[in-house]
Structure 1
Amino acid sequence: MNIKLLAVGKTDNESLQKLIDEYIKRLGFYINFNLEILPDIKNAKNLSEAQQKEKEGELILKKIQSADVLILLDEKGKQYTSEEFSGYLQKKMNSGAKQLVFVIGGPYGFSDEVYKKSSGKISLSKMTFSHQMVRLFFVEQLYRGFTILRNEPYHHR
């Protein structure tokens, strides 16, 4: 199985990007993982919230194949402990899905079309984090999930 993380807008914080890159490198020992950055919407300040979600939604849906399992990182999603999330990953791998695609949307969330296409929603916390921080937290939890599945010591630190 492949796992892809789609995120809207680039990370402009070098320190965060180095940490994200480190976890992506570590994930390579467990699974084929890809982080794909979708460009920020041009002239977003001239668009309504709904128009911005719509345009971002179009970009997101262009990157989704019909067989992909689409999971949204959304504040209204289900919350997991790290151990529960590792079990979730195992179930998805056992399901025979070829590619699991997680998506971090823009500042206003997702369009209705993206919600309709998704297979589920996950929340990393009840707290609000910057979209850049969410990337780091997610790749770290993904890595942690695989160490749990392999019964490796990282998750006990």
Structure 2
Amino acid sequence: MTIKLLGIGKTDDPALQNLTEVYIKRLVFYNRFEFELIPDIKNAKNLDENQQKQKEGELLLNKIAASDFVVLLDENGKQYSSEAFSEFIQKRLNSGLKQLVFIIGGPYGFSEDVYKRADAKISLSKMTFSHQMIRLFFVEQLYRAFTILKNEPYHHK
């Protein structure tokens, strides 16, 4: 199974980008992992919030196959402990899926079409974080999940 993380726009802060890359490099030792960023919408300032979400949604949906299991990283999603998230990952690994896709929306979230396509929603926190910071938090938690599954000492109870 391939795990893919989709996001909108580039990371402006080099420190965040570097830390994210540290965990991406670690992940490849556990599982196939892809990180794909869709460029920001051009002339977004001329669009209202819903128009921007719609355009971003179209771009995101074009990157998803019909057979993909799609998980939105969404503030209204289910919250997991690190151990429970590792169990979520293990169940998907055991299911025979070809690809598990996690999606981080743009600054205004997701379009209705993206919500309709989603198979699950996960919230990393009740707090709000920038979509750029969520990239780092997610790849760290995914790495942590794999170390839990392998009984490695990274995670402390």
- Report the TM-score range of the alignment, normalised by the length of the smaller protein: over 0.9
Aligned to 1:17: 17
| Structure 1 residue 104 corresponds to structure 2 residue 98 | no
1:19-66: per-residue Cα shift (whole Å, max 9, x none)? 100100000000000110001011111101110010000000000011
1:79-132: per-residue Cα shift (whole Å, max 9, x none)? 000000000000111111110000000111111111111101000000011111
| Structure 1 residue 27 corresponds to structure 2 residue 27 | yes
Instruction: Supply the RMSD in Å over aligned alpha carbons.
Output: 0.8
* Aligned residue type for 1:19: L
Aligned to 1:77: 77
Secondary structure of 2:155's aligned partner? helix
1:41-120 superposed matches below 5 A: 41-120=41-120
Aligned to 1:135: 135
Secondary structure of 2:19's aligned partner? helix
Matched pairs, number: 157
Structure-2 separation of matches of 1:108 and 1:96: 33
Ranges of 4+ aligned residues in structure 1 off by more than 6 Å? none
Structure-1 separation of matches of 2:17 and 2:50: 29
User: What's the CA shift for 1:144?
Assistant: 0.0
Structure 2 residues not aligned, in runs of 5+: none
Secondary structure of 2:77's aligned partner? strand
- Percent identity (aligned): 69
* Aligned residue type for 2:101: V
With the length of structure 1 as denominator, give the TM-score of the two structures.
0.98
Structure 1 residues not aligned, in runs of 5+: none
User: What's the CA shift for 1:155?
Assistant: 0.7
With the length of structure 2 as denominator, give the TM-score of the two structures.
0.98
